[in-house]
Structure 1
């Protein structure tokens, strides 16, 4: 639910931006690009919006090769929008990723997706496209293994049973002698169970969970920040919903100092959870939010909901940053490396 809401918000911002620059009839094509890290062909928990990907809008050119009518790059949130003058019919046109970035740009171009007319009003025609996926050469190590297909076994023919020999006549059958009542049936001797030694599974790497005050101590733990920095803005880290609530200038360093308001408390705990998710290795288990995408989804879901949801998500982030979690008996430690 939160993933679809995030996509709808980004597409709405792209449409409003295109509509603001429209003075006459025009056509807008909008969509998003994601990095399909597990190569399963669908959006999943480990997929993230892809920045800087090159998207081509193609229409039939009368031959086997489609004609590229427009190209554009995705923004920081993985979204793209193309505006064209006039209102041509584009129901038979497609959009595809022709060049991606990072480890998702090493594979071949993605398959094209057809455009769909969303609405046509006031001289503006909006076409949308399902999320485009760009895949790496190989699936990431932290992706779940696909279910293996059962091996094709050779069809075994049913053994042919020979017909039973005919029974002798009744007067030649021997009478069945039953044992006496007082005689106990012999107890069968069961074979002794074979003792097998089982090798314990290898220990999984343990995760880490640290509270916001540990991350705010930049002199002692500032070297442990990954991907983002203390000067990264909240809008860049969490998306448009956070930018609307907290502004476009607030940094993550300032976010860790928030208190006295339920929305500032939510931002403080969500920032600490985001840093914990970046710090933990992909294979490390235990932390309540295994990926940064799950932290961003819960954060945006709370901002777009009620005040009660804000309180619940803030408490859930705080419990995860303290080392707790669902079904956990012992708390996760905070194993940040001292920078001094």
Structure 2
């Protein structure tokens, strides 16, 4: 009985805190990115890029197909869009699709298929839905795109024309063979097309250093995340130092943001693309302490492979 009485105030404080968080943070967000499908092949490729000024509509039908709720938002200059719904409605039957573009957009002639909303995060009546990348297409594919594999037309046979050799032909010199090129160093495994999510502990191990594609552990946080991050973390903190942060909401946000950035570089199926990680981090830093905690939890959940139970596909470097 004495043990229960001594812990009763702590338990009561926990209930009050949970009720307060539940009352303050009860909302639902939907976010995603629109890419310009420059080759008009219906899928993401290295030639595609996030496009701004694209209108995205989230539509929610009922069981009879009648529209019960609809909301529209325009992508920002990073190609991202975010919609907020009051309360915690069930958006499991809703879908998002490109519905138009502004006059300045050059990649809004046609739109790709609609995508269903996926519940990514649920805690204290907070819900976050994500949408797989939506596509919009230009009027014509770009000239540098690989052509589709269509059978070549059958051409009539051509009779070769044999000409006599010219009496003043240029002499042919036999050049010495070039020395063989040195062998290239072995490349690390490429799980880029596989779904992979690795926690921050993996990225601090020496055997995974070869997967720091496009990023250096010594790169400054201010250079990667921009001036807003520089004001919070200074201009000298490196990505490697940011991965060690813990205990404080701001350092936890930076740790999980760097981890999500590395995961986005190494897996096309990661829930956040590279631009989206930087964007959400800056939005959180410019917001309240609630947005710091919420964004950190979203990154942490994605880095742990939830909700699809995705594992870390990295293999130790040789």
Same fold, TM-score > 0.5, yes or no: no
Q: TM bucket by the smaller chain? A: 0.3 to 0.5
**Structure with greater Cα Rg:** 1
Query: Normalising by structure 1, what TM-score?
Result: 0.40
